[in-house]
Structure 1
Amino acid sequence: MTATTVPEQRAADVPPAGRARRGRWVAPVAGGTALIAAHGALYGNWLVDDAAITFAYARTITDGAGAVLQPGAEPAEAYSNPAWLALLALGRLVGLFDRGSIFGVPDYVLFPKALAVLCCAGVLLACHTAARRVFRRPGLVTVAFGAVLAAVPSFVIWVFSGLENPLYALVTCWLAVVLSGAVLDDRLLSGRVAVLVGALVAVAALTRPDGLVYAGAYPLLVLLTARRAGLAAAARSVALSTAAFLVPFGAYVLWRRVEFGRWLALPAAAKSQDPPDLAQFTRVGELVQYAGALAVLVVAACAGMALARGSRLGSALVALLVPLGLSSVAFAVLAHDWMGELRFATPVWVLGALVAVFAVARVLGRGTARRRAVLSVLLAVALLPSAARFTAAAREFRAAPTVPMCLVVEMYGRGFNGLADILGVERGSLLLPDVGGAALTSRLALVDLAGLAEPRLADLWGARDVAGLRDYVFDRVKPTFIHSHEGWSQTTGIADDPRMAADYYVLSAGRTAQDWVRRDAVADGARLAELRDYVRTELAAATRAGLDAPRSRCGPTLRPGQRLGR
């Protein structure tokens, strides 16, 4: 279907000529953004610790230390979001990030969350841009779109987590809107559209690795809409769009190879994504279950009716459904994410909400009063289970958010700095599985047990060589301190390795956390007793405080060498 094959647009499809005025988008975009930000405020100052890995790289790069986790470390690409990293680095260069406090709020909290708000505003603007093409009241549609996104905890949580999700949402939404506008104007094969789409795909792929999937959006849509007589033009446009994507993305991949000696970032190497099998595609059901099966069913029915009528909206929906389908495929084939709340589903929520609001608005706007009433009742009934699910998810996550960065700052950054000071260690090292907040505050050389920032460990994880991992830790690295907790201890077997008992003293032992220090780093029994007393009192108190207030801040600045309470 192309824009030229649909019936002539009706008066209700778009605003009358000349009626749209500049600035009418401001109020609905601001209103929808405010709804999302209000939900985001529920999670306070919480940032997930993995986000601090990118924060640390923004610091080292702008300080001239290179692409390293800590100054003096081996160059390693522990991040997989270079586009988001570029925004953080720019913020630091202009003094808005990792410099201090702004209006009494630490900028390491304020800046990434402010970026998230701006990206959400951009997402709402994209919705309004598309809505004004097919609705008489695009402002109402935009506000409804913002309300839907604000209701989805999975979207709001990860947009305000400090990770790259807000930028990813912005880029994928604009990609879909550009495609839909091109179909409506019958400009899909124009060179300008092809280049713009290719550039957006490049940014998506440089924001998250799975953004590569959107390289298929333009060719698929061209295939669906191209006329037989225009196959040569279609092929040229697809080639142009592909080139516009490959040039910037390929340049970055080549730089990665030169800088790090690798074709893939360390997180990709460590996680060793397996080729997808058919069973993985059933994971799309997780999205349906989270959103609510009844709500998805009603939306699907509305979308079907809009597509069947052959209106301008139907043409736009085809263009929106292509990237939505690709985002669902990407979610399904990615390995399960331990962080919870469907972290990889952000573009699904954005594109799904766009399709849902457009389809429902069309059916409500075109039906008789009786049909509108019936659909309104059906929507209310269908949304009740979704509302209950969303409310419970938001409440549970607010009470116990995933690995708060400030908890890691206190426990493994400032806390282990204190242990190193007791020993008088000048060049010590610390092996642990959570390195984000520690990288911002530790004076110890960090060794990432998860392999995200340690090339050799990344390769061992990728090869699933756990025995080799233990050999590397105990025979090569020989860290001064080791911290592990239940899941990591069980997976690696590091706590039960005979070399642990032979080479290390236990500082603390429990069901969920364990700490050790190398025997040859401890001068005498008195010093060992002092270390254990510190862990039992000061470090334990900091840990309890962090667990009791997981949404709190951890001081105005984060700097290497800081100690607890200082």
Structure 2
Amino acid sequence: MVSTAMAAEVQRAETVPPGRRPARSLVPPVAAVLGGTLLIALHALVYSYWLVDDAAITFSYARNVADGLGPVFQPGAEPVEGYSNPAWLALLVIGKWLGLFDHGAIFGIPDYVLFPKGVALLCCVGILVAFYSAARVVSRHPAWVTFGAGALLAAVPSFVIWSFSGLENSLYGLAVAALACGLVRAVARDQTLAWKVAVTAGLLAALAALTRPDGLIYCAVYPLVVLLHFDRGAVLARVRAVGLSLAAFAVPVGAYFLWRKAEFGIWLANTAVSKRQGFPELAFFGRAGLLLAYAGALAVLTLALCVGIALTRSAVLRNAIVTLLVPLALAIVAYALLEPDWMGEYRFATPVWVLAAFVAAVSVGAVLEHAGVRGRIATVGTLVLVMIPAGDGFVAAAQKFRDNPSVPMCGVATRYGRAFNGYADVLGIREGTFVAPDMGGAGMTSRLALVDMVGLVDRRLGALWGQWDMPGIRDYIFDEVKPTFIHSHTVWSDHTGLLADPRMMRDYEVVYTTNYGPETLGRAGLDGDFVRKDAVQSPEKLQAVREYAVRKMRPAEHMSGLSPLGKCGETLSPGQLPWPATPN
């Protein structure tokens, strides 16, 4: 436990009478925060207008909630919790209410791009502000520590890509950073057991839990910090403080769980059900090693050595680093326990990068503060040498992702939303259903009733995916839904066996396929668009819709493929027709 004397040392500047206190310039902290944010923003520009399609699932829910239609994916649809980020959803709803989201273009940039990316940038500012607030109590050069942490975050493609993907990662990182840095300040000032600290820690853990499901793990941060800084003479006070923090966490989180049960009839989000997130296996913990390889083993080991050296310095610094290592360890555990994510670039590791960057910056700063001139030169030289291969790896990862980003929202809006609107128009279909595996952009643009093949926004299919019941999925789609249109491709065709099912050949006509002809309809792995036979009025209509696919859909799809980082119009709305994406 930090002694009262040590706490007094930390607070000495605050207890000096105002007339004798040296003026504190705002320039260094502002420059550090804005400089670090600028580096992050410059990296984010590499990915231009790109948003991942899963983000648009939350966009669709935000649109409908803001319009008073409830938590539904489409107007009139059954309420299903097809999102896993209620706090981020709430921000999008507020943005729509304020006219900043889902209304049109702002300065020529679609607000469905500008608003989530703008909020992400503000969250990055908040992360660096939290860093500075903690660095003030452990370093004589907090501005440099803050800027260094910001520069490290700006260098990590995984952090930047997912923070600016339209998903909740930036808010998640902010919640965890605020929690960790707030506890660093409290420990350094011997205020860990103060009721305000306990309640704030609980509420920030609740924010993390309501931003991502794995955020539930951060309710353990405050109790573990209290345990690590244990004082035998204050057992009752510690029990009281931990109970207060857990209560502050449980009230909002528990209220949301009760609302979920009342609204959707289940305790877990439908996304968790469909993804089959179960109890962890021991082998999952090996996934933590992937993060080490991504960041560069030599760089991580060198920074770990700096952490070890910093732990031998002052008690204030040692306690601060130990406090930071608690949420960092939990972040690594949470990443290891989650089912692997198909989107790539370590989407679930955002809190790991946030906390690791700050621990590294604080530790390197401490080493440099206590080293002589030669020691500083040696330390900086070593860090530069070990960072070169890590930097090469980051550059390669960023370039690879820029060239082939994960499922762009605009590509889905064009290919599945707008294209199938066009098919329905050509065939004269006023109302119809459409089964497909990518729902985000389609939800923003389709006028058809969507059925999510993957089960994220469909309760029945979500349960079937959770049981890995592929025959059940095929029976439900062919015998109960009987969709007007079906699209499937690659892995989803292979997993479900949908396009190899005899009912596909019996009930559906080919509208468009890639590198296949109608005669290969029964082959597994087939990519293509299909229409129910009883929805086609004549052979002429079938030929017309096939020509439309080649003449309108295919060029639009081609343009989207050429410009995966591009935008797709000022607005996204149901009923829109295909048109080429705007180059980035």
Question: Same fold, TM exceeding 0.5?
Answer: yes
Alignment of 1:459-470 (within 5 A): 459-470=463-474
- Structure 2 residue 553 is matched with structure 1 residue 539: yes
CA 1:289 to 1:133, structure 2 compared with 1: closer, same or farther past 3 Å? same
Aligned to 1:188: 192
Deviates more, 1:21-30 or 1:90-99: 21-30
Residue 3 of structure 1 contacts residue 185 of structure 1 at CA under 8 Å; is this kept in 2?
no
CA 1:215 to 1:151, structure 2 compared with 1: closer, same or farther past 3 Å? same
Partners of 1:313 and 1:382 in 2: how far apart?
A: 25
Aligned to 1:88: 92
Provide the TM-score with structure 1 as the length reference: 0.97
Residue 193 of structure 1 aligns to a residue whose secondary structure is helix
Aligned to 1:137: 141
Partners of 2:500 and 2:34 in 1: how far apart?
A: 55
Q: Tell me which amino acid in the other structure corresponds to 1:544.
A: H
Partners of 2:58 and 2:426 in 1: how far apart?
A: 30
Aligned to 1:46: 50
Residue 331 of structure 1 aligns to a residue whose secondary structure is helix
Partners of 1:200 and 1:480 in 2: how far apart?
A: 46
- Structure 2 residue 323 is matched with structure 1 residue 319: yes
Aligned to 1:264: 268
Deviates more, 1:19-28 or 1:101-110: 19-28
1:513 to partner: Cα distance? 2.5
Residue 32 of structure 1 contacts residue 146 of structure 1 at CA under 8 Å; is this kept in 2?
yes
Query: Among 506, 523, 541, which residue is 1:527 paired with?
Result: 541
Q: Tell me which amino acid in the other structure corresponds to 1:374.
A: A
- Structure 2 residue 446 is matched with structure 1 residue 446: no
- Structure 2 residue 156 is matched with structure 1 residue 156: no
Residue 484 of structure 2 contacts residue 532 of structure 2 at CA under 8 Å; is this kept in 1?
yes
Aligned to 2:574: 560
Partners of 1:565 and 1:122 in 2: how far apart?
A: 38
1:196 to partner: Cα distance? 0.3
Partners of 1:236 and 1:142 in 2: how far apart?
A: 34
Residue 419 of structure 1 contacts residue 534 of structure 1 at CA under 8 Å; is this kept in 2?
yes
Residue 73 of structure 2 aligns to a residue whose secondary structure is coil
1:405 to partner: Cα distance? 0.4
Aligned to 2:182: 178
Residue 7 of structure 2 contacts residue 189 of structure 2 at CA under 8 Å; is this kept in 1?
no
- Structure 2 residue 315 is matched with structure 1 residue 301: no
Partners of 1:4 and 1:389 in 2: how far apart?
A: 46
Aligned to 2:238: 234
Alignment of 1:328-367 (within 5 A): 328-367=332-371
1:249 to partner: Cα distance? 0.7
Partners of 2:297 and 2:486 in 1: how far apart?
A: 46
CA 1:115 to 1:228, structure 2 compared with 1: closer, same or farther past 3 Å? same
Deviates more, 1:222-231 or 1:152-161: 222-231
Deviates more, 1:510-519 or 1:67-76: 510-519
- Structure 2 residue 407 is matched with structure 1 residue 403: yes
1:11 to partner: Cα distance? 12
Instruction: Give a deviation string over 1:157-216, Cα, whole Å, max 9, x none.
Output: 000000000100111000000111111011111111000000001110000000001011
Residue 3 of structure 1 contacts residue 315 of structure 1 at CA under 8 Å; is this kept in 2?
no
Instruction: Give a deviation string over 1:494-530, Cα, whole Å, max 9, x none.
Output: 1101111111111222367311110110111111111
Q: Tell me which amino acid in the other structure corresponds to 1:514.
A: G
- Structure 2 residue 384 is matched with structure 1 residue 380: yes
Q: Tell me which amino acid in the other structure corresponds to 2:433.
A: S
Partners of 1:169 and 1:14 in 2: how far apart?
A: 29
1:428 to partner: Cα distance? 0.4
Partners of 2:107 and 2:316 in 1: how far apart?
A: 47
Partners of 1:361 and 1:191 in 2: how far apart?
A: 31
Instruction: Give a deviation string over 1:329-362, Cα, whole Å, max 9, x none.
Output: 0000000000000000000000000000000111
Aligned to 2:565: 551
Residue 7 of structure 1 contacts residue 311 of structure 1 at CA under 8 Å; is this kept in 2?
no
Aligned to 1:276: 280
1:544 to partner: Cα distance? 0.7
* Identity score, percent: 53
Aligned to 1:127: 131
Partners of 1:506 and 1:5 in 2: how far apart?
A: 79
Instruction: Give a deviation string over 1:251-303, Cα, whole Å, max 9, x none.
Output: 01111111111111110010111211221111111110010101110111111
Residue 193 of structure 2 contacts residue 237 of structure 2 at CA under 8 Å; is this kept in 1?
yes
Partners of 2:207 and 2:435 in 1: how far apart?
A: 34
Deviates more, 1:527-536 or 1:335-344: 527-536
CA RMSD of aligned residues (A): 1.9
Partners of 2:527 and 2:238 in 1: how far apart?
A: 59
Deviates more, 1:133-142 or 1:100-109: 133-142
1:13 to partner: Cα distance? 12
Residue 74 of structure 2 aligns to a residue whose secondary structure is coil
CA 1:15 to 1:23, structure 2 compared with 1: closer, same or farther past 3 Å? farther
Partners of 2:8 and 2:55 in 1: how far apart?
A: 49
Residue 3 of structure 1 contacts residue 312 of structure 1 at CA under 8 Å; is this kept in 2?
no
Alignment of 1:63-74 (within 5 A): 63-74=67-78
Partners of 1:280 and 1:420 in 2: how far apart?
A: 45
Q: Tell me which amino acid in the other structure corresponds to 2:501.
A: D
Aligned to 1:98: 102
1:18 to partner: Cα distance? 3.7
Query: Among 517, 520, 523, which residue is 2:531 paired with?
Result: 517
Residue 56 of structure 1 contacts residue 69 of structure 1 at CA under 8 Å; is this kept in 2?
yes
Partners of 1:309 and 1:104 in 2: how far apart?
A: 53
CA 1:3 to 1:147, structure 2 compared with 1: closer, same or farther past 3 Å? farther
Partners of 1:415 and 1:11 in 2: how far apart?
A: 64
Residue 49 of structure 1 contacts residue 408 of structure 1 at CA under 8 Å; is this kept in 2?
yes
- Structure 2 residue 479 is matched with structure 1 residue 507: no
1:139 to partner: Cα distance? 1.4
Residue 25 of structure 1 aligns to a residue whose secondary structure is helix
